[in-house]
Amino acid sequence: MDILGHVKEVAATPFYRRRPMASLRYSYAKWKFLLNRIYTPGEFLEGLGVSAQVALSGYARWRPLLEDVVRSVKEKQGHQGGVSIEDGMVLFGIVRAMQPEYVIETGVAAGVSNSFINAALLENGHGTLYSIELPPAQSGAGRHEDGGVFAWPNTGVGWAVPPEIRNAIGDRNILILEDVRKALPKLLETLPQVDIFFHDDLHTPDHMLWEYELVWPHLRTSGVLLSDDSNFSWIQFCRDRQVKDGHYRNMQRLTAVLKP
């Protein structure tokens, strides 16, 4: 574990700076995630009980476009919390394998995860993605509680989503520009079920736990709950809900469980 990098991260995160116990729990969780890290999307998908071959069918067609998305966000705006190519492949694969009708992502930013999920929905030929993001003025108003600072408000939400994907997906991707704390409870009441939920908005543990707990009853049996930048709230959630096997298995702290 990069101890110096971790200390710098905690020092730059308002939530942890004010909470020494929480920052200790965070350090422990990161160490556990490091010990249980999986390095390839195929292995991660198989660990969830999903055939990687089925899940990644059709990926080769989208690969150049999606790799360009990741590259262009890095070049133009820096890291910006966008998912990596490997994490994006997991998102793509789960959407292909589960053939969902209702997918939710929280945290759109430049649109990296959005591009991978929408590409898979296009490949499936059905299903809708609901994407929740803060209004630009709120996201761009300075450092967030989890330490995030975002440049996308200058260029527009989802600016990196290629026109080929944006135009083809059309109204099968519904963007909700509202604080997730208000938007998500309302959205969940309108959907018959959730097939896949991907958390990638505010990464403070109390907020993440709130989100996992809120979504879980709406997730269909065999639906998938995914979280990026997981911390001890994920471990606690898996323990409380007695979810088997998902506590520590991760790829770059992307975690996922299937609802039994």
Ligand X SMILES: C[S@@+](CC[C@H](N)C(=O)[O-])C[C@H]1O[C@@H](n2cnc3c(N)ncnc32)[C@H](O)[C@@H]1O
Q: How far is the CB of 123 from ligand X (least distance, A)?
A: 19
Nearer to ligand X, 42 or 111 (CB): 111
Q: How far is the CB of 110 from ligand X (least distance, A)?
A: 5
Residue 228: strand, helix, or coil: coil
Identity (one letter) of the amino acid at 130? Y
Q: How far is the CB of 229 from ligand X (least distance, A)?
A: 7
Nearer to ligand X, 41 or 53 (CB): 41
3-state secondary structure 26-92: HHHHHHHHHHCECCCHHHHHHHCCCCHHHHCCCHHHHHHHHHHHHHHHHHHHCCCCCCCHHHHHHHH
Nearer to ligand X, 144 or 253 (CB): 144
Nearer to ligand X, 98 or 202 (CB): 202
Q: How far is the CB of 181 from ligand X (least distance, A)?
A: 6
Nearer to ligand X, 138 or 241 (CB): 138
Nearer to ligand X, 195 or 201 (CB): 201
Footprint of ligand X on this chain (CB under 6 A)?
A: 81-83, 106-113, 132-134, 139, 144, 148, 150, 179-181, 200-202
Cβ atoms within 10 Å, residue 49: 10
Q: How far is the CB of 260 from ligand X (least distance, A)?
A: 27
Q: How far is the CB of 188 from ligand X (least distance, A)?
A: 15
Give the distance between the most distant pair of CA atoms in the chain.
Answer: 48
Nearer to ligand X, 139 or 230 (CB): 139
Q: How far is the CB of 208 from ligand X (least distance, A)?
A: 11
CB 111 within 8 A of CB 166: no
Beta strands 194-199; 102-106: pairing state: parallel
Q: Which residue is nearest to ligand X (CB)?
A: 81
Q: Which two tokens stand for residue 141?
A: 């108003």
Cβ atoms within 10 Å, residue 192: 8
DSSP letter string, 131-199 = EEE--HHHHTSS--TTS----GGGT-TTTTS-HHHHHHHGGGEEEEES-HHHHHHHHHHHSS-EEEEEE
